[in-house]
């Protein structure tokens, strides 16, 4: 997770400048991928709330949605692990 946050921080800091400079050369799918990575795990993009039934609903946990993009440093790891598992079973 440490690397993914560093990559995300670099994108947060440098993407607007990069996009402004090279906008004509950046494909739409690349822009969408970066947008997904930047919004991954942000509660403003949606979340699920879980309430503790044992304590009468006093405690709640908010779990933000992930982007599920294979290009995302966090979500891509899950994608890769599942692919490796599938290929291992096939071999």
Which has more pLDDT, 27 or 3?
A: 27
Distance CA 83, CA 46 (A): 27
So what's the pLDDT on residue 10? 93
- Binned at pLDDT 50, 70 and 90, residue 4 comes out as low
Q: Give 5-63 pLDDT, tens digit per residue.
A: 788 899 999 999 999 999 999 999 999 999 999 999 999 999 999 988 888 778 889 99
Nearest partner of 47 among 30, 64, 59, 35, judged by Cα:
64
So what's the pLDDT on residue 3? 55
* pLDDT above 80: residue 1: no
Domain that holds residue 47: 2-90
pTM attached to this predicted model: 0.71
Distance CA 35, CA 88 (A): 32
**Structurally, how many domains does the chain consist of?**
1
So what's the pLDDT on residue 33? 94
So what's the pLDDT on residue 2? 54
């Amino acid at each position: 997770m440490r690397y993914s946050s560093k990559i995300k921080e670099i994108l947060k800091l440098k993407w607007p400048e990069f996009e402004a400079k090279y906008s004509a050369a950046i494909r739409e799918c690349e822009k969408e991928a970066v947008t997904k990575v930047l919004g991954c795990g942000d509660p403003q993009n949606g979340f699920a709330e879980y309430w503790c039934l044992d304590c009468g609903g006093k405690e709640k946990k908010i779990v933000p949605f992930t982007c599920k993009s294979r290009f995302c440093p966090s979500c891509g790891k899950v994608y890769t692990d599942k692919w490796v598992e599938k290929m291992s079973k096939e071999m």
